[in-house]
Amino acid sequence: FLPIMAERLHGCDVKTCAVISFPYGADLPQSKIAAAENAVTAGAEELDVVMNITALRSGDFGYVRSELATLVRAVQSRAVNDARGLVLIKVVIEAPYLDDKLKRLACKIVADSGADFAKTATGVGTAATVDDVELMREALPEGVGVKASGGIRTLEAAEAMINAGASRIGSGAAMKIMKELA
């Protein structure tokens, strides 16, 4: 449905986003890169890429770093070659599965890769926490944003994430939150 959505949203402030390697990030690098490039060609203006959490937790940091850096370069090249302009890349680190040391390392890998955001969680069995957002905001350079996602179902929870340092919120309850806001 990506090409249909891209066509319908053309000229709007709403951006078309695709998720890559959902939900666990365990696809082979070549598969992730191909999926990301195909999504850009099909009209994605933003990508949520799930970091390979298994490799990270197993200590294969070089693998994770190389995979993300290669993917970011491939997406940027595809966007230029397809005259798509800037494509934002948000990397899901699945913070609830990591200890604080690994969260900080994951943030460093995200920043070093050239990605635009680190995202707390996919929301599949995990939820964002204020502590995770605060830690990520502290660990990331100013130019890399934090997106809080997973388990944010109320205006109060969304405000807590923003106050903790998130510049974006992902929520399956967005309509409910907007009604609360109104």
- 114: which residues sit within 8 A by CB, 6+ positions away? 69, 72, 73, 76, 89
| Maximum Cα–Cα distance across the chain | 47
Cβ atoms of residues 47 and 75 within 8 Å: yes
Q: Which residues are catalytic?
A: 48, 119, 147
Q: Cα 70 to the chain's mean position, in Å?
A: 16
> Which two three-digit tokens encode residue 138?
């502290």
